[in-house]
Amino acid sequence: MIDIAPCHICGLVRGLFKTIAFRQKAKEQLEIKLKDSTAELAALKEQLQQEIAERRQVEAALRESEQLFQQLAENIDSIFWTLDAKTRQIIYVSPQCEKIWGLSRADLGAAPEYFLNAIIHPEDRDRIIAALKAPDAGEYEQEYRILRREGEMRWIRSRCFPIRDRAGQVYRIAGIDQDISDRKKTEAALRESEKRIQAIISTLCDSEARLQTIVANLLDGLLIVNRRGRVLFANPAAGKIFGCEPEDLIGVELGWPAVKNHTIELTILRPNREIGIGEMHVAPAEWEGKSVCIISLRDITERKRAENALCESEAKFRQMAENIADLFWLASPEDNRLLYVSPAYEKIWGRPIEAANGETQFWIETVYPEDREAVEEAIAKQLQGESTSNEYRIVRPDGSIRWIWARGFPIKDEFGKLYRIAGIAEDVSDRKIAEAQVQASLHEKEVLIKEIHHRVKNNMQVISSLLELQAQYLDDPQTIDLFRESQSRIRSMALIHEQLYQSLYLDKIDFAKYIKDLATNLFQFFGNHSNAIELKLNVAESSLNIETAIPCGLIVNELVSNSLKYAFTEGMSGRISIELFRDEVMKFHLTVSDNGVGLPNNFNIETAGTLGLRLVRMLTRQLKGVLEIETYRGTRFKLGFSELNYRRRL
């Protein structure tokens, strides 16, 4: 048997009780913890169940929201779209893209870049691409144009906004594109309408300004009078008519006009006591919401004086027209009717004056048949506003013919429009008879003068023939030469008379033709060796009277004869030249030259004793000309002269 000390047992018992107490306490604590954990688990379960219920509600609400969004996106007129913020890939596009852009969602999915590169208008493309690629591209609002595949252009308003995650980062870009083409058209129409309205307003302002200017510058006076008869408005012309400033008329009591819508004349007493005549027209009107009368005043004092002067002038004109021997007539260009014919018609035409008033056809029927066409042409010119003057014959009722000199001239109004045609017809039958007698007399004188020239030419030819016959009885060569020279001179003068009676004009001859004929005759006259000599003519067309032609012809005769006789030795060839022209001061220049042996070194025409050169010197003085002689390589005579004036013969 084991001997256990009581103290030791007591200690064991106390330890056992402590252990049991500790375990009991631990169990109690464990039970408490278990109860707490169970309560927590129950709470967590309840919370989890609540969260699951809430999540299901959120998911149901999300599905409902997505359905609503899809219904909204697919039924609005605008395009809703979303992009990935990083890749810029299209995530969603509403079906309206096909209606607005003309592209289906399949088209956009297959070629997303086609929208930017082909649909957006080239002028707007860079701006829209830059806006999409900008750092803050999630927020912008742009308007741009698109070109649909069929070529139609539309205006689009695009607005986009960012979609951020819980961290605040943009992960989506959403946008709405709206077709604003109709609005743009409306805006354009509105702008155009505003322009038109502005133009109308401007026109109205201009019209008002022009109206004020017109009223201020009217020559007629304008007054506005109220029902009390007081002047409310007066323009400057009204003040001028009354002899005062228009402001002085405001408030003046003129009285309410008793006559309206009629024009009457009235006497105007001006401040300087001068009396004038006015013409007044009154019209009722509304002005600033009140009944007024608009009075138009016109100063007709000068017109009345002019009318009185015109009446006096018409009376004087009628007295003159009815008492002159010439016929005066007045016609209307509109219907070509005669308005007035003076009484001289009865004396000249031998018909009653009533037959002339009216249609011009009756007037034309009195014209001699051969002259009617010319008269009708003159009437046509008068209707065009031209002045005419012509002569024609008329046939009187008794069959006698009278010559008429008619002049017509236009009368135009202040605007230059043809208003009347006036004319004077003069009986020139006696003058025509006198002219016919004068013409017959002139013809007789012309025939007589031509016969005289013809007889003078024949007589000179007879003298030349007598000289030639007389020379046949002479033996002295020098005497024979003198006779031949005289024959040459006579022939040169006879040639002038021959041309005069053959010419249309008896006072002038064609000197170019004369020189040619004279030179030809001289070459034939000196025919012994002239065949070897060349004649060169450079003569301008010119006409000379007989006073100038005879001395000039004799000079040519003497100089050409001297060249033919003395300039060339027997068998020697050469050239004789004759030149004639007229300078700008109407002076003639005659040159006769040859390339013969020339003149002696000591030759002086003033001391020359030969008859021919003495004649040249005398005839040069008669022509009041200047003679120059050159002897280089032959001989050249240069004569300058002017045509002599005709000397009347008694």
What digits encode the pLDDT tens for the residues 251-276? Answer: 877 777 766 666 777 777 666 667 77
In the predicted model, what is the mean pLDDT of residues 428-440?
Answer: 76
**Contact (Cβ atoms closer than 8 angstroms) between residue 181 and residue 155:** yes
**Contact (Cβ atoms closer than 8 angstroms) between residue 422 and residue 329:** yes
pLDDT at residue 47 tops 60 = yes
Q: Which residues pair with 234 in a beta bridge?
A: 223
Cα–Cα distance, 629 to 616 (Å, whole number): 12
**Contact (Cβ atoms closer than 8 angstroms) between residue 552 and residue 623:** yes
Residue of higher predicted confidence among 55 and 234: 234
pLDDT at residue 394 tops 80 = yes
Give Cβ neighbours of residue 475 (< 8 Å, ≥ 6 apart). Answer: none
Cα–Cα distance, 284 to 631 (Å, whole number): 108
Q: What local confidence, expressed as pLDDT, does residue 419 receive?
A: 83
Q: What is the mean pLDDT of the chain?
A: 76
pLDDT at residue 452 tops 80 = no
Q: What local confidence, expressed as pLDDT, does residue 525 receive?
A: 75
Q: What is the pLDDT of residues 591-631, one digit of tens each?
A: 999 988 888 777 777 777 677 778 888 888 888 888 888 88
Q: What local confidence, expressed as pLDDT, does residue 589 receive?
A: 92
- The count of C-alpha atoms lying within 13 angstroms of the C-alpha of 197, restricted to the half-sphere facing its C-beta, is 6
For residue 8, what pLDDT band results from cuts at 50, 70 and 90? low
Choice among 119-133, 304-318, 489-503, 612-626 with the minimum mean pLDDT:
489-503
Residue of higher predicted confidence among 481 and 32: 32
Q: What local confidence, expressed as pLDDT, does residue 1 receive?
A: 44
Q: What percent of the chain has pLDDT over 90?
A: 2
Q: Could you give the 3-state DSSP secondary structure of residue 331?
A: strand
Joined tokens for residue 506: 């008896």
CA 465 to chain centroid: 77
Hunting for tokens 């401007």 — which residue is that?
202
Give Cβ neighbours of residue 161 (< 8 Å, ≥ 6 apart). Answer: 138, 139, 173, 174, 175
Amino acid at 156: I
Choice among 65-69, 374-378, 451-455, 614-618 with the minimum mean pLDDT:
451-455
Q: How many residues does the chain have?
A: 650
pLDDT at residue 387 tops 50 = yes
pLDDT at residue 649 tops 50 = no
- Other CB atoms within a 10 A radius of the CB of residue 548 amount to 23
Give Cβ neighbours of residue 505 (< 8 Å, ≥ 6 apart). Answer: 543
Residue by residue, DSSP assigns 487-524 as HHHHHHHHHHHHHHHHSS-SSEEEHHHHHHHHHHHHHH
Joined tokens for residue 611: 């008859």
- The count of C-alpha atoms lying within 13 angstroms of the C-alpha of 283, restricted to the half-sphere facing its C-beta, is 8
Q: Could you give the 3-state DSSP secondary structure of residue 304?
A: helix
Cα–Cα distance, 271 to 179 (Å, whole number): 78
Choice among 60-69, 124-133, 350-359 with the minimum mean pLDDT:
60-69
> What values do phi and psi take at 482, rounded to 5?
-65, -40
Hunting for tokens 């070194």 — which residue is that?
601
Helix extents (H) in 289-403: 301-321, 344-349, 360-365, 372-383
Choice among 150-159, 348-357, 541-550 with the minimum mean pLDDT:
348-357
pLDDT at residue 450 tops 60 = no
Please report which helix (H) or strand (E) contains residue 547, including its range.
helix 546-562
pLDDT at residue 650 tops 50 = no
Domains recognised in the chain with CATH numbers: 73-179 (3.30.450.20), 218-304 (3.30.450.20), 322-427 (3.30.450.20), 428-497 (no CATH), 507-650 (3.30.565.10)
- Distance separating the N- and C-terminal Cα atoms of the chain: 226
Q: What is the pLDDT of residues 546-600, one digit of tens each?
A: 788 878 888 888 888 888 888 887 777 888 899 999 888 888 999 999 988 888 7
pLDDT at residue 636 tops 80 = yes
Nearest to 144 by CA among 80, 112, 203, 100: 100
Joined tokens for residue 590: 């005659």
**Contact (Cβ atoms closer than 8 angstroms) between residue 326 and residue 345:** no
In the predicted model, what is the mean pLDDT of residues 230-236?
Answer: 83
Burial of 489 (0-12, 13-18, 19+ CB in 10 A): buried
Buried-exposed string 505-517: b where 16+ CB fall within 10 A, e elsewhere: eeebbbbbebbee
Q: What percent of the chain has pLDDT over 70?
A: 73
Q: What local confidence, expressed as pLDDT, does residue 156 receive?
A: 85
pLDDT at residue 293 tops 50 = yes
Q: What local confidence, expressed as pLDDT, does residue 591 receive?
A: 92
Residue by residue, DSSP assigns 387-425 as -EEEEEEEE-TTS-EEEEEEEEEEEE-TTS-EEEEEEEE
Amino acid at 426: E
